[in-house]
Amino acid sequence: MTLPPSLIVRELSKTFTLHIQGTTLPVLRDIDLTIAPGEAVVLSGPSGAGKSSFMRCVYANYRPQTGSVLVRHDGQLVDMLTAEPREVLEVRRRTMGFVSQFLRVIPRVPTIDVVAEPVRAVGVGREKARERAGELLARLRIPERLWNLPPATFSGGEQQRVNIARGFAHPCPVLLLDEPTASLDARNRDTVVDMIREVREAGTAILGIFHDEAVREDVATRTFEMTPVETSRAA
């Protein structure tokens, strides 16, 4: 039986306007993309093609000029671009995860609680959530002696592993990955590749950006080519 798509993007266009220069910067034009459960679609294309902007539009951090981003949430399609803010937050809490290149957390919160927070947010008790967090931190080789320290004290690679642990703590039907392996050594990169494969095989729909060609080949079920949009002068 064919499962319905988890993510549907239709006719998505995004333009930035530089008012001082009187210039518009179109970065996305009429993008169509559908991702089914268990697919890992990797965005491909040169720098400036709009890959990260597209990802931010899908997550509703950027508001495009036209189009729709439909996410299957509780059996219904929710348009992230027209939904009420509380519904967008609910989709992010339970249905759509996002692992970016940078860890953004409240200062002074212990690392284990940073990772446990998405699990707590879906109603899991503190101890169970911390147990899940500990499993992921151990798998990503963050020493237990560091778990009660805030991640701001960690190296860049350690912070990225905390970021990945947090992003994988609660299994989401849709997962966005923006260069999650960029700061990692080969051993930890291979661990993250295994984690991505596992959630993909469990039915998660993945949209990702990976500049590492070997990682792309290891995780992608298909690629989606993007090309830069020409710049035009504002009237």
| Residue 114 near residue 151 (C-beta atoms within 8 A) | yes
How far is Cα of residue 172 from the mean position of the Cα atoms in its chain? Answer: 11
Tens of pLDDT, residue by residue, the chain (235 residues): 678 999 999 999 999 887 676 678 889 999 999 999 999 999 999 988 999 999 999 999 999 999 999 999 999 999 999 999 999 999 999 999 999 877 777 778 999 999 999 999 999 999 999 999 999 999 999 999 999 999 988 988 899 999 999 999 999 999 999 999 988 999 999 999 999 999 999 999 999 999 889 999 999 999 999 999 875 443 3
Report the distance separating Cα 129 and Cα 42, nearest Å.
30
- Architecture, CATH, for domain 37-60+83-221: 3-Layer(aba) Sandwich (3.40)
Q: Name the helix (H) or strand (E) containing 175.
A: strand 174-178
3-state secondary structure of 122: coil
pTM of the predicted protein model: 0.92
